[in-house]
Amino acid sequence: MQAIRDPRTRFSLLAPPLIQMLIFTFAATLDVKNVPIGILNRDNGQAGFELVQRFRGAPTFSRIYYLQSVEEITPFIDHQKGVMVVSLDQQFSRNLEAHKPAIVQLILDGRKSNTAQILGGYATSIIKKFNDDFSAQHDIKQQNVNLVTYNWFNPNLLYYWYNIPSLVVTLSMLTCLVVTTNSVARERELGTFDQLLVSPLSPVEIVTGKIIPGVIIGFFEGLLLMAVGVFIFQVPFVGSFFLFSFSILIFICSMAGMGLFISSLSATQQQAMLGTFVVMVPSVLLSGFATPIENMPIWLQPASYLVPLTYMLQISKGIFLKNIPASVVLNNVWPLFLITVVNLVGASLFFRRRLQ
Amino acid sequence: MLQNSGIRRLKALIVKESFQIIRDPSTILISVVLPFFLLFLYGYGVSLDLNHLRIGLVLEDTSPEATSFAYSLYNSRYFDVKTYRHEHSLIYDLERNAIRGFVVVPSYFTQFRHRPDLIAPIQVIGDGSEPNTANFVQNYVRGAFDNWLQQEAVSKDLKGLPLVSAASRYWYNEELESRNFLLPGSLGIIMTLIGTLLTALVVSREWERGTMEALISTSIQRSELIIGKLVPYFILGMISMALCFLVTVFGFQVPFRGSILLLTLVSAVFLFCALGLGFMISTLARSQIVSYQISVVTGFLPAYILSGFLFEIYSMPWPIQLLTYIMPARYFVQCLQTLFLAGNVWSLIFLNMIPMLLVGLIFFLIAVRKTVKWLD
């Protein structure tokens, strides 16, 4: 209640997450756009020209530098002026006229191997399309098998459709943690906490009472961020709103419980904050927020099961983009229940200990 | 005479600071434990490499041709393939993230193949809720598909080899291990955090305790105060960086192809910057808690997102790209990735050092002026 009454605190609780959501959504993207590349066309023929045109026309390759000689390739990549160089040799058109294979060299900067691989994939599909068209035009027999690719749930692979469901839950988690740990630590330092402990309230009641502000604030913030995501950023929301709200409520309870547990172990506000940091950073990294859990080594993957955020991320992305059924949601919610209970019990034990 | 006493005071301050560091457990925590902890997390927890990509396969056509394609997928080291007979179990697995995509060979595949006027399709569907992974699903399946086509052409002596094809060569990280560029980059993030935290926390602690005013009231000069305070932390930061470097190269087996001297020089310049930022924060915020919060928000978080170590700067909207130009971490990360993977690209490194020096200087100037204000 104290937290909500203070307008300054209210502002500092709402503004940073909204700002962070804005910045993170646009900045924290593994999308590949506007990445400069170089093209070296030593071919003088029609075919080479046409292939280069196709690269020019591709929206992904919006920044192209035209290199003049082979010697320019090394400094171009070395100085990271571009991530990829597409190189056509002098024989390109001539080979094609003679129906001999013509190879397009792609040179990629391994220092940015993720981006490079994705760009390499785009380039290869442009080249393949060119090959198919050329062969069709010149009546050359090609294998008549084709790979048709598309993506479900996010057909254009818009990165922010992935980011925003994740950010909604992560940012509300952070706020909830901050509110909970602050409230306890502040009360402790002010001394009003001990008064609470000696009051006729049982530790369970105190613990439950303490998490309520964090839960309410976190929950409403989660819903607010979700609304921002859906209405302002136009992220689709195809699942059940009820399931989402239910899950996020349990999730926030588990985070508040964790915050309370950390506070019960800390003596000062400073320690509580440090503790929160120490818990938060690995949690976010291991939860699959930025990089998928399946990329982690097998022995480390179980660690992610201890992090509530892992489950909530799956639920959030699933409900936003996939309309996952209740069974999948509940499968991810029961661990959250468990974590909440464990944390609250732990917190009340530690508080009782401190009293003695 | 004046200069002599100046140096004496400086030495005394440095000695005192060093003792304080040794006695204070939190400095060791920040400079040794924290970086190791973060390195461990970044080394193992963050990876963009997809091995054993779990995909589904629906073989509606069971002819020998379709089966040979299926086998090329089974045998690929990139995939863990699970075959499905029914649509609902496939969709269920896709929804609960058990698979990241699936391949469908339709029932009319072989039929179409034998008719030259038709094209036989194979469908690849990726899970768009993980866009990066979906991209890789398609790239890898395409790779397996192209290989299979080539093998088919050779074994059946068809003339259908593609006329135009791409040959890719990756420089500087041929193994395509994302760790090789993520870890050097994360060194930059870690050093940002440590450099900033060290000075921010420590100096504001002195302000809180009042020992700073005691120091100022001595005959020490302003410049000596700042240099004396920072030199021990600079050394500590460099030691921290050295430890992290050893773990990265020997523990995680990341290649290092540059010169250690150049690395030391670049790290020194960056540390100068980070310490400057921390010092500036500590002069602006008097309490430790506030310093800590500001360090994390203005030091660590922006470095994490905007330095380019994980998220591609070119893909960000241009106002944010402009913002990255004033972030020292951006330049440091570029230097680190180059030094580790490519070697000594002298002009690139020196070009990157200039903005770092400039920004560091600005931080220090601000810090100095703020300290002066407080003296009066």
pLDDT above 80: residue B181 = yes
Give φ, ψ of B221 to 5 degrees.
-80, 155
Alpha carbon distance B40, A252 (integer Å)? 28
**Do residues B363 and B280 lie in contact, with contact meaning Cβ atoms separated by under 8 Å?**
yes
* Mean pLDDT value across residues B352-357: 90
Res B216: pLDDT = 67
Res A4: pLDDT = 47
pLDDT above 80: residue A9 = no
Residues of chain A neighbouring B316 (CB-CB closer than 8 A): 26-27, 29
* Minimum-distance CB partner of B129 among A106, A146, A162: A162
Chain A interface mutation, best of B132, B292, B316, B344, highest count of A Cβ atoms under 10 Å: B132
Res B221: pLDDT = 67
Alpha carbon distance B337, B340 (integer Å)? 5
**Cβ of A131 and B162 within 8 Å?**
yes
pLDDT tier at B158 (50, 70, 90 boundaries)? low
Q: Token pair of B373, please?
A: 């204000």
Res A11: pLDDT = 60
**Arithmetic mean of pLDDT over chain B:** 83
Q: Token pair of A146, please?
A: 């084709």
pLDDT tier at B2 (50, 70, 90 boundaries)? low
* Minimum-distance CB partner of A151 among B122, B134, B163: B134
Q: How far is CA A261 from the centre of its chain?
A: 27
* Minimum-distance CB partner of B311 among A29, A161, A270: A29
Q: How far is B116 from chain A (nearest CA, A)?
A: 7
Percent of chain A past pLDDT 70, that is, above it, reads 88
pLDDT above 80: residue B211 = no
Least confident of A146-155, A257-266, B178-187: A257-266
Q: How far is CA A340 from the centre of its chain?
A: 24
* Mean pLDDT value across residues A122-130: 89
pLDDT above 90: residue A108 = yes
Bridge partners of residue B172, in order along the sequence:
none
**Residue A3, exposed/middle/buried by CB under 10 A (0-12, 13-18, 19+)?**
middle
pLDDT above 80: residue B30 = no
Chain A interface mutation, best of B97, B149, B186, highest count of A Cβ atoms under 10 Å: B97
pLDDT tier at B101 (50, 70, 90 boundaries)? very high
DSSP B85: S
Alpha carbon distance A78, A207 (integer Å)? 58
pLDDT above 90: residue B120 = no
Res A13: pLDDT = 61
**Cβ of B312 and A32 within 8 Å?**
yes
Cα atoms in the Cβ-side hemisphere of radius 13 Å centred on B23: 6
Alpha carbon distance B31, B39 (integer Å)? 12
Tell whether A351 is within 8 A of chain B (Cβ).
no
**Cβ of A27 and B316 within 8 Å?**
yes
Give the C-alpha distances (Å, rounded to integers) separating B155 from A141, B27, B160, B298. 17, 66, 12, 61
Q: How far is B51 from chain A (nearest CA, A)?
A: 7
pLDDT tier at B219 (50, 70, 90 boundaries)? low
Res B124: pLDDT = 92
Q: How far is CA A243 from the centre of its chain?
A: 21
Which among B29, B118, B75 is positioned nearest to A145, based on CA atoms?
A: B118
**Do residues B366 and B196 lie in contact, with contact meaning Cβ atoms separated by under 8 Å?**
no
**Cβ of A294 and B54 within 8 Å?**
yes
Tally C-beta pairs within 8 A across A and B: 303
**Cβ of A113 and B96 within 8 Å?**
no
**Residue B189, exposed/middle/buried by CB under 10 A (0-12, 13-18, 19+)?**
buried
Which among A249, A259, A242 is positioned nearest to A220, based on CA atoms?
A: A249
Which among A125, A100, A114, A123 is positioned nearest to A39, based on CA atoms?
A: A123
Percent of chain B past pLDDT 70, that is, above it, reads 90
* Mean pLDDT value across residues B27-51: 83
Give the C-alpha distances (Å, rounded to integers) separating B92 from A194, A252, A325, B89, B104. 51, 27, 9, 5, 16
Residues of chain B neighbouring A141 (CB-CB closer than 8 A): 116, 158-160
DSSP A145: E
Task: Express each pLDDT in A157-182 by its tens digit.
Answer: 888 888 889 888 888 888 888 778 77
* Mean pLDDT value across residues B206-214: 70
Least confident of A342-356, B43-57, B127-141, B320-334: A342-356
**Cβ of A297 and B171 within 8 Å?**
no
Give φ, ψ of A197 to 5 degrees.
-65, -30
pLDDT tier at A313 (50, 70, 90 boundaries)? very high
**Do residues B360 and B328 lie in contact, with contact meaning Cβ atoms separated by under 8 Å?**
yes
Q: How far is A212 from chain B (nearest CA, A)?
A: 25
* Minimum-distance CB partner of B118 among A96, A110, A144: A144
Q: Token pair of A124, please?
A: 């290869």
Element containing residue B102 per DSSP (H, E) = strand B101-105
* Minimum-distance CB partner of B311 among A27, A51, A121: A27
Q: How far is CA A36 from the centre of its chain?
A: 24
Tell whether A341 is within 8 A of chain B (Cβ).
no
* Mean pLDDT value across residues B159-165: 72
Percent of chain B past pLDDT 90, that is, above it, reads 12
Tell whether A62 is within 8 A of chain B (Cβ).
no
Tell whether A46 is within 8 A of chain B (Cβ).
no
CATH for B53-156 (3.40.718.10, 3.40.50.2300, 3.40.1710.10, 3.50.50.60): 3.40.1710.10
**Cβ of A33 and B135 within 8 Å?**
no
**Do residues B315 and B309 lie in contact, with contact meaning Cβ atoms separated by under 8 Å?**
no
Res B11: pLDDT = 77
**Cβ of B129 and A322 within 8 Å?**
yes
Residues of chain B neighbouring A154 (CB-CB closer than 8 A): 128-129, 131, 134
Tell whether A153 is within 8 A of chain B (Cβ).
yes
Task: Express each pLDDT in A232-252 by its tens digit.
Answer: 888 888 888 899 999 999 999
Residues of chain A neighbouring B170 (CB-CB closer than 8 A): 108-110, 113, 116
Alpha carbon distance A278, B358 (integer Å)? 33
Q: Token pair of A6, please?
A: 């203070």
**Cβ of B314 and A130 within 8 Å?**
no
Chain A interface mutation, best of B89, B103, B130, B300, highest count of A Cβ atoms under 10 Å: B130
Which among B312, B276, B272 is positioned nearest to B295, based on CA atoms?
A: B276
Task: Express each pLDDT in A38-96 by its tens digit.
Answer: 999 998 888 889 999 999 998 888 889 999 999 999 999 988 889 999 999 888 888 88
pTM of the model: 0.81
Res A200: pLDDT = 67
Q: How far is A208 from chain B (nearest CA, A)?
A: 27
Tell whether A314 is within 8 A of chain B (Cβ).
yes
**Cβ of A114 and B334 within 8 Å?**
no
Cβ-based neighbours of A155, under 8 Å, separated by 6 or more: B128
Task: Express each pLDDT in A201-231 by its tens digit.
Answer: 666 677 777 778 788 888 888 888 898 888 9
**For chain A, which domains are there?**
37-137 (3.40.1710.10), 155-355 (no CATH)
CA angle A229, B99, A307 (to 5 degrees): 60
Element containing residue A85 per DSSP (H, E) = strand A84-88
Q: Where does chain B have alpha helices with state H?
A: 2-23, 25-28, 34-40, 64-75, 87-95, 109-113, 131-156, 179-209, 211-216, 222-246, 260-284, 288-294, 301-306, 318-324, 328-341, 346-375
pLDDT above 50: residue A156 = yes
Tell whether A80 is within 8 A of chain B (Cβ).
yes
Least confident of A188-197, B242-251, B325-334: A188-197
* Mean pLDDT value across residues A101-109: 90
Res A3: pLDDT = 46
* Minimum-distance CB partner of A30 among B45, B122, B132: B132
